[in-house]
Amino acid sequence: MPGIETIEFQGLPALHLSTADGASAVVTPYGGQVLSWAPTRGRERLYLSDRARFDGKSPVRGGVPVCFPQFSTLGKLPRHGFARTALWEITEQRSGGDYALATLQLADNPETRALWPHPFLLELTLAIEGGRLDLELEVENSGHAPFAFSAALHTYLRVAELEESRLEGLHGFEYRDALHGDAVRRESGEALIFEAGIDRVYHDVTRPLLLRESGRALGINADGFPDVVVWNPWEDGSAQIADMAPGDFRRMLCVEAAAAHQRIELAAGESWVGRQTLVTL
């Protein structure tokens, strides 16, 4: 039956969204994290590690973790902030014949204020329709003083074979390369191909991206998020990652919509919105 169902996913509470034409997604309030997305007439498009921990404490390796209020180690908080390990609340569920949508919220609470002293409201909305997944992250400053944050939708895309995949659209953009001493360079390749680990923040990306694989392609568009992070740990990096099987680096590529290069300043009472859309082509 298409619509929205409450399910248990690896022991976590979750919503299963589906449409009459066969698209589906799973999201859990734990971390406000999308765990699965399959478009109409298509296979799963998100990577989720077989070794992911679903203990309600650890970050879940895969799907779309929400990084907030800190991207990576750009601050004093735990890596990628606290939103991905906090319990969010489901606030809206809606579906028609051809679409399904859910909204989850996370508000500041004693645990978040102990780490980061600001009142805020985060809202994640996911919507599926046909070959499309829309993710929207809204950040509201619900306090009386300004704050600054960095953030990302840390999307783990599933690929059949990374070495046969290419990412188009980043040509000409400046990036910071975390694997080469944070050197800042300009992308000179027409497409990124993957033959080694990669951990880059591309700045102010204004074009949609295209992930090409043999036999299929995925359009990746962002709005509001100025940056794109491209990450794959490769063989050496994944040896340090306990919750990922050794060969899995070939099956995933993170293409993240991020506000990482510069923090976003939000005045009291103001909101900011960032989106990432994935479309099968």
Q: Does 59 bind ligand BG6 (CB under 6 A)?
A: yes
Where does this chain touch ligand BG6 (CB under 6 A) — which range of 72-80, 99-107, 128-136, 166-174?
72-80
Q: Which is nearer to ligand BG6, 12 or 244 (CB)?
A: 244
Given the residues 123, 203, 256, 261, select the one marked as catalytic: 256
Window 92-151: residues binding ligand BG6 (CB under 6 A): none
Q: Closest distance between ligand BG6 and the C-beta of residue 231, in Å?
A: 4
Q: From the centroid of its chain, how far is CA 269?
A: 25
Q: Closest distance between ligand BG6 and the C-beta of residue 268, in Å?
A: 29
- Residue linked to tokens 């921990």: 53
Q: Does 266 bind ligand BG6 (CB under 6 A)?
A: no
Exposed/middle/buried for 62, CB within 10 Å: 0-12, 13-18, 19+?
buried
Identify the DSSP state of 129. Answer: E
Residue 134 · residue 124 · CB < 8 Å: no
Total number of residues that touch ligand BG6 (CB under 6 A) = 10
Q: Which is nearer to ligand BG6, 15 or 229 (CB)?
A: 229
Q: Closest distance between ligand BG6 and the C-beta of residue 233, in Å?
A: 7
113, two tokens:
């204020």
Active site residue 136: no
- Of 230, 233, 268, which is closest to residue 250 (Cα–Cα)? 233
Among residues 28, 33, 36, 72, the one that binds ligand BG6 under rule CB under 6 A: 72
What character string, x for contact with ligand BG6 (CB under 6 A) and - otherwise, covers 151-170?
A: ---x----------------
Contacts for 212-217: CB closer than 8 Å, 24+ residues apart: 212/165, 212/166, 212/167, 212/168, 213/159, 213/160, 213/161, 213/164, 213/165, 214/160, 214/161, 214/164, 216/42, 216/280, 216/281, 217/280, 217/281
Among residues 27, 167, 256, 278, the one that binds ligand BG6 under rule CB under 6 A: 256
Q: Does 81 bind ligand BG6 (CB under 6 A)?
A: no
Q: Closest distance between ligand BG6 and the C-beta of residue 238, in Å?
A: 10
Q: Give the span between the Cα atoms of 129 and 204, in whole angstroms.
A: 28
Q: Give the span between the Cα atoms of 176 and 195, in whole angstroms.
A: 18
Q: Closest distance between ligand BG6 and the C-beta of residue 84, in Å?
A: 8
Active site residue 154: yes
Q: Does 80 bind ligand BG6 (CB under 6 A)?
A: yes
Given the residues 118, 154, 203, 261, select the one marked as catalytic: 154
Q: Please report which helix (H) or strand (E) contains residue 237, including its range.
A: helix 234-238
Q: Which is nearer to ligand BG6, 242 or 268 (CB)?
A: 242
Q: Give the span between the Cα atoms of 49 and 249, in whole angstroms.
A: 10
Window 180-199: residues binding ligand BG6 (CB under 6 A): 199
Q: Which is nearer to ligand BG6, 37 or 71 (CB)?
A: 71
Q: Give the span between the Cα atoms of 50 and 60, in whole angstroms.
A: 11
Residue 91 · residue 121 · CB < 8 Å: no
Q: Using CB under 6 A, list all residues that contact ligand BG6.
A: 59, 72, 79-80, 154, 178, 199, 229, 231, 256
Residues recognised as catalytic: 154, 256
